[in-house]
Amino acid sequence: MTTAPEHATSPIKRVLANAGQLLSGRVVNAVVGLAYIALTARSLGKEAMGVLVLINAFAQFLGEVAHFQSWQTVLTYGTGPLLANERVKFQQVLRFSLLLDGISGVLGVALGVAGAWFFWNELRWPEGMSGYGALYALSIPVMSSATGVGLLRLFDRFRFLAAEQAISSLVRMIGCGICALTQAPLPYFLLAWAAGTFASFFYVASIAIWDLNRRGLLKGFSLLGPTSRDMPGVWRFAMATNFSSTLDVGFTHVLTMVVGALLGPAQAALWRIGKQVADGMAKPARLMVPALYPELAKMRASGGQQAMTKLAVQIALLGGAAAGVLLLVSLLAGRWILETVMGQAFGAAAGVMNWQVAAAAIGVMTLPLEPMLVSMRAAGAALVVRLVVVICYFAALVPLITRFGLTGAGAALVVSALAMAIGMYLMARRRLARLAAEDDSARTTKDDEGPKYDHAHGV
């Protein structure tokens, strides 16, 4: 078994270097992603585009609900065995992660198909679209190649991860281009979007298997064997990270469905278009997060709490600078960007997009906080923060949308992002203080024991 190579460079330089590798692919993805969105929007119009957006949001929501964040399990529990050359233990972590992915896939498809058939009317889908929605739900198991992503992050294979979303967007763009040229109806655009999801999954899985084999980590591996044995708390960790991720989609896919249910597919399309552009603007800064997790996991495994804090502060300062630029661009050029890329009809999304960019900017400024909590195995603390914020968020969401429309939804998003940032900061500070106290206690105990007398050697 080959261990991960040691790097002489500082953690912040490694994070930025890995984020830079991801950025090279995400720049392509941002351009290609806007291209397939634009092709879809211009070909279908606001109403049909809104229906596609609602079906996609429904499937992605269920995918996020069902999917365990097994990549976090790979990083948190697999880093130690990898560094210690414990191949069998590492294979156990891998087996457990694959088990989580299998459970996720079966559950996601079951919920997706049932939901499409029985709740299409409540979701504001047109009559006759339930069958297409059920077929689209078959892509739920491959919407997240979680174990593969975790392995490639652990192995510092960020240059391969850089192409993951670009491949998905490229396949979608080609498919949507064909649909646009042939004036195909909505179901064929759904097929093109699903094809991109499958392409991305198989790409990541293939690279991960190749790298595992190259490192000798598949030698003697079997899907049958121990999973959670001798890994105390791993199921609790998996459930907490899954639930936290599920709550996170309340700010994405669930909100799109709520907007569609209350305001109709056309307004859902405007919301989704604005969110797509806002997320695309924030993406370069957010790429530091996947590059941050492996560094924090390695620091936690070696007891480097002070180094973790220093790295988080450095990332926060960089994120703050990026956040200011994002908001300025949105305020000055948001409408022009939307009308140029999506068409005149979608310029109306500019107002709500400013709110969405502001929320994204707050998230960028505080992006190291949740990775720190997860790396310190305090995923439960992050979950508590998300749970409280999401409950308050959805309690206020329907009245705000009913009274203020898309502006109300955008304002709620900003307030919830701010509350999330404050909560994560307080939890991270509390956890770091506890770890520091434990380290001080351990050092004091060791000093009190003093040197031991060795009778055999007289020392």
Q: Where are the domains of the chain?
A: 11-437
User: Is the distance from CB of 311 to CB of 299 less than 8 angstroms?
Assistant: yes
DSSP for 200-221, please give it. HHHHHHHHHHHHHHHTTTTTT-
Which residue in 8, 15, 1 sits closest to 318, CA to CA?
15
The band of 456, judged by pLDDT with boundaries at 50, 70 and 90, is: very low
**pLDDT reported for residue 9:** 62
Question: Per residue in 311-342, is it b (16+ CB within 10 Å) or e — as a string?
Answer: bbebbbebbeebbeebbeebeeebbebbbebb
Question: What separation, in Å, do the N-terminal and C-terminal C-alpha atoms of the chain show?
Answer: 39
User: 217 Cβ partners below 8 Å, 6+ apart?
Assistant: 1, 87, 90, 91, 94
pLDDT, tens digit (0-9, with 9 covering 90-100), for 307-349: 777 777 777 777 777 777 878 888 888 888 888 877 777 788 8
User: Cα separation of 281 and 329, whole Å?
Assistant: 9
Q: Is the pLDDT of residue 358 over 70?
A: yes
The pLDDT tens digits of the residues spanning 407-435 come to 898 898 899 889 988 988 888 888 877 76
Q: How far is residue 108's CA from residue 140's CA, in Å, rounded to a whole number?
A: 6
* pLDDT for res 135: 92
As a whole number of angstroms, the distance between CA 352 and CA 356 comes to 6
- 234 CB-side CA count, 13 A: 24
Choose among 393, 367, 198, 199: nearest CA to 290: 367
| Cβ neighbourhood burial of 419 (10 Å; 0-12, 13-18, 19+) | middle
Neighbouring C-beta atoms of residue 55, cutoff 10 Å: 27
Share of residues in the chain with pLDDT > 90 (%) = 12
Does the predicted TM-score (pTM) go above 0.75? no
Cα–Cα distance list, 315 to 245, 280, 288, 321 (Å): 22, 19, 8, 10
Burial 116-141 (b: 16+ CB within 10 A, else e): beeebeebbbeeebbebbbbbbebbb
Q: Band the pLDDT of 374: cuts 50, 70, 90.
A: confident
Q: Is the pLDDT of residue 72 over 60?
A: yes
State yes or no: pLDDT of 23 exceeds 70: no
Burial of 279 (0-12, 13-18, 19+ CB in 10 A): middle
- Residues 98 and 110: their CA atoms lie apart, in Å, by 19
> What pLDDT score was predicted for residue 459?
41
**Above 90 in pLDDT, residue 176?**
yes
CA distances in angstroms from 149 to 9, 71, 143, listed in the order given? 23, 6, 12
Q: Which among 67, 97, 66 is positioned nearest to 79, based on CA atoms?
A: 97
Q: Kindly tell me the burial class for residue 418, based on how many C-beta atoms sit within 10 Å of its own C-beta (0-12, 13-18, 19 or more).
A: middle
Q: Which residues contact 173 (CB under 8 A, 6 or more apart)?
A: 32, 35, 36, 39
The per-residue pLDDT for range 228-262, each reduced to its tens digit, is: 787 877 888 888 777 766 666 655 677 788 888 88
The rounded distance, in Å, linking the Cα atoms of 315 and 220 is 40
Four-point Cα dihedral 436, 439, 444, 446, nearest 10: -170
User: In this predicted structure, what is the pLDDT of residue 284?
Assistant: 62
The pLDDT confidence band at residue 58, using thresholds 50, 70 and 90, is: confident
Would the pLDDT of 451 be above 70? no
For residue 151, with 0-12 CB atoms within 10 Å meaning exposed, 13-18 middle and 19 or more buried, which class applies?
buried
What are the tokens at 133? Answer: 């929605």
Please report which helix (H) or strand (E) contains residue 53, including its range.
helix 11-66
Q: What is the mean pLDDT of residues 34-50?
A: 85
The span from the CA of 212 to the CA of 1, in Å, is: 10
- The per-residue pLDDT for 324 is 79
